[in-house]
Structure 1
Amino acid sequence: MKHVVAAIQMNCELGNKEGNLQKAQTLIAQALEQQATLIVLPELFNTGYRVEEQDWQYAETIPGETTEFLQRMATQHEVTIIGCILERGEIGGTIFDTAFVIAKNGILGKYRKTHLWDQENLRFNRGDALAVIHQEDLKIGLQICYEIGFPEGARILTLQGANVLIYPSAFGEQRYYIWDTASKARAIENGCYVIAANRSGIEKQSTQFGGKSRIIDPQGKVLVEAVQEDECIVATIDLQRVIQQRREVPYLRDLNKAIFHPSE
């Protein structure tokens, strides 16, 4: 029940898919050297975040160019890779901010961001579903960036069985206090691991990303945190500790669901 997991922190060049994918590949290789079998990339890692004037140009289908690029690595090295890109919707002209899970045998699932930050409401459509994605004994709950401040999504995913919560992010430095507290809180209140892979660098001379990607245990302890602009951080997680923590602090057992879902 132990897994070596990695979070990738990286600065991206706006609109340079080829360059960003090559950088991601280099950082993934570092994770592989450390025997990681689950690797998480930041939000919109392949295009950069502030491409709002060209969202449609850079958006892809899933499967598509970026997922196929990652699929080759996942298959070759028998690992699981989680990324997040601009996705073209089924209805022409619609775009979603979408995370996905890729394993050696293909795309296991995807999640479209349901809570949009500020101007994202003008760029993207909202997703409307939460689901836990199973990869052997890992039960992966996907959220994206801003959603780290919404406990509801994390709790729903946990009640659906998630034992690790994943946050591909492009979280701003200005609100580090939220990133720091909320990431630990999501781990503690759900008794699970949190892997939060954040962007670094600055875009359009105004948007400064906060970095500090981190892997957090079920007690809210930061096992490892990134300190460099481009960095791969790695930790070993033990899913037995999820069970132990949920028995020692039984928030999930004691949750009074009737209050939140009263009978009509």
Structure 2
Amino acid sequence: MILNVNIGQMPIQLDMKANLSHILNMMGQIEEGELLILPEAALSGYDHDLRFLDQIDVNQLQDSLDHLTEQVKMRKVHLIFGSSLRENEKWINAGIYLSPDGNMEVYRKVNLATHERNAFTAGSQLPIFNMETNQGVVRFGIQLCREIRFPEQWKFLSMEGAQFIAYLTNVISVDSLPVWKSHLISRAAENQRFILGSNVADLNQGCPSIVVSPKGDVLEEIISDKVALKRVQIDLSSVSNWYLDQSRTDVVKIKSDITR
């Protein structure tokens, strides 16, 4: 199965209207049936000083989500992006999938950064999402930012049947760039999955926006402070369980204890 994917990066501001405009502009550059990946907090914006959450207009956020949902449905595209979301009077750091049929799926960040833990509520599941395409169903997972450092989560998603993992981040730290890129190559090669990653556009990017193949080959990457969009055609038949099936489960076993 062939899938056309687009990795996009944009400056992310504490200005939801500006963020929404960037997202819509990028959606306008992709073709019907294609997938667009955008960074962590692409809609809501993000700041290390988490008091920014107190300034979010929840009604504006919901209106923006509704507008994106309608635009995705009208354009018949697939969109994965990040945003803070308000659920049950609490904030979550979310990865969101909007599908052409108008549905919204949400991944709630499981492994929050230490400074996030008093402001966000951590998720408790690593779900697999289904993407309906003309060629069949594609299965995928989402990981956010520092979860790059927890390979067991990526292995779990792969064992659960993810064919690609969307990696959404918002990291600005020039010193971390080679390390985080290496992490993504390892996550792809050790699990034999495609990694589709998007980071914020910034002079001091701490991680590239990137597409990595199941062999660990970098198919595309963006390291820039500019708005950018790259299209890559990926062949999902190259996804494999060859290494996963060789895991010594008598020594270490990764399994789910979540009741479905």
Pairwise same-fold verdict (TM > 0.5) = yes
TM range, normalised to the smaller chain? 0.7 to 0.9
How far apart in 2 are the matches of 1:89 and 1:41? Answer: 22
In structure 2, the residue matched to 1:67 is 65
Is there any run of 5+ residues in structure 2 with no aligned partner, and where?
A: 255-260
Equivalent-residue separation in structure 1 for 2:54 and 2:155 (angstroms): 33
Query: Does the CA contact (< 8 Å) of 1:70 and 1:81 recur in 2?
Result: no
In structure 1, C-alpha distance between the alignment counterparts of 2:34 and 2:81, rounded to whole Å: 14
- Please state whether the residue corresponding to 2:30 is helix, strand or coil: helix
Structure number having the greater helix percentage: 1
- TM-score between the two structures when normalised by the length of structure 2: 0.87
Moved more, 138-147 or 50-59: 50-59
C-alpha offsets along residues 81-115 of structure 1, whole Å, 9 cap, x if unaligned? 0111111122x2x2110111110112342111011
For 1:211 and 1:36, the matched residues in 2 are separated by 27
The residue aligned with 1:257 is 249
* CA offset digits 1:41-60 (Å, max 9, x no partner): 10111232216213143275
Within a 5 Å distance, the mapping from 1:36-185 to structure 2 comes to 37-50=34-47, 52-58=50-56, 60=58, 64-90=62-88, 92=89, 94-136=90-132, 137-173=137-173, 174-185=175-186
Q: Residue 205 of structure 1 corresponds to which residue in structure 2?
A: none
Secondary structure class of the residue paired with 2:114 = coil
1:195 corresponds to? 196
Q: CA RMSD in A?
A: 2.1
Unpaired stretches in structure 1, ≥5 consecutive residues: 203-207
Name the counterpart of 1:22: 21
- Give the length in aligned residue pairs: 246
SS in 1 for 2:38: strand
What one-letter code is carried by the residue in structure 1 that aligns with 2:199? N
Any conservation in 2 of the 1:183–1:194 contact (CA below 8 Å)? yes
Work out the percentage of aligned pairs sharing the same amino acid.
24
Query: Deviation digits for residues 145-198 of structure 1, max 9, x if unmatched?
Result: 111121011111111100100111102333112211111011001101000010
With over 3 angstroms needed to count, the CA separation of the structure-2 counterparts of 1:201 and 1:36, relative to structure 1, is farther
Q: CA deviation at 1:73?
A: 2.1
1:170–1:198 CA contact under 8 A, matched in 2: yes
Counterparts in 2 of 1:239 and 1:195: CA distance versus 1, 3 Å: same
Please give the alpha-carbon distance, in whole angstroms, between the structure 2 residues aligned to 1:171 and 1:100.
18
Please tell me whether the aligned partners of residues 140 and 166 of structure 1 are also in contact (alpha carbons under 8 angstroms).
yes
Deviation larger for 46-55 or 193-202: 46-55
One-letter code aligned to 1:86:
S
Task: Give matches, 1:185-224, under 5 Å.
Answer: 185-201=186-202, 208-210=204-206, 212-224=208-220
Q: TM-score, normalised by structure 1?
A: 0.86
Query: Secondary structure, in 3 states, of the residue corresponding to 1:260?
Result: coil
Q: Does 1:230 align with 2:227?
A: yes
